[in-house]
Amino acid sequence: MMTLDVNTNEVTRFTKQLQRMHKSDFPLAVRGTLNDLAFDQKTKEMMIAAGKMFTLRNPSFIKSHSGVIKADGWNVNNMESTCAIMPKGLKAAAQLEKQETGGTITDRKVIYVDPARGGVKSNKVQTKNWVQKHGYVKGSPNRARGRKSNIVAQAVVAKETGKLVKIGTKSTDHFFKVNSIQFSGKGLHRGVYMRMTPIASYERGRSIRLKPRPFMETSGQKTLTKAQRFFIKNAERRFEKALMK
């Protein structure tokens, strides 16, 4: 919510002149100023603040899930405009609200690692590395084999089918893409060399604690420093319209 003080020394002259004009001019100038502030926060300052506080892998995500509720009416004491996160039913967008004050994101099952992003932490996960795109090799391990032999057997199937290999620990499953498999030797001396790329980890019920990153509050405060400029612009617009009548 944007709060505008029109009684400061800098804008008092414009306020008094507007109040001497048609009864709609002053409310229109205030309303226009509040809306200019909200749109300035959404289109400029919000993204600047977010860029300083987050790794923005997809900047358009924040833009598309934020919006402006414009000021309306004629009573300047009740007018307000708002720039806010609007999740639109999307869970990931709703989590942006928790980023503001901190909190816990629950049930964060899958977390992708840097190689899935092309080796660059700030990049988006490459489509070709999505777990749901590949699937993974399923089936119970052969009890007659050791753990290593079962992993090799799964890797062979994964390489042939384009699926991922899932290697589990007590608490977490890890997904790997099989790049190559080479066998050497025979019998008891047979060896295997595999090149695999880690893609993601999975942990049922995993939660992540978020540190406060008040990008909305920070951007709102920055936008409010422009209030005087916006009010004068809107006041001058009303003056020009009055002269044209």
**What average pLDDT values come out for the chain (245 residues) when binned by 10 residues?**
67 89 93 96 93 81 87 92 80 71 70 84 82 80 67 87 84 87 74 88 74 88 92 93 79
- Give the pLDDT confidence score for residue 160 in this predicted structure: 87
Nearest to 211 by CA among 56, 122, 108, 98: 98
pLDDT of amino acid 188: 60
Structure confidence at residue 201 (pLDDT): 85
Residue 182 pLDDT:
87
Residues 6+ apart with CB under 8 A from 157: 137, 163
Residues across the chain: 245
What CA–CA distance (Å, rounded) separates 4 from 244? Answer: 28
In a 13 Å sphere around the CA of 236, the CA atoms on its Cβ side amount to 6
Contact yes or no for 206/107 (Cβ under 8 A): yes
- The alpha carbon torsion through 234, 237, 242, 243 (nearest 10 deg) reads 150
* pLDDT value of residue 239: 92
> What's the pLDDT at 71?
93
Alpha carbon distance, N-terminus to C-terminus of the chain: 34
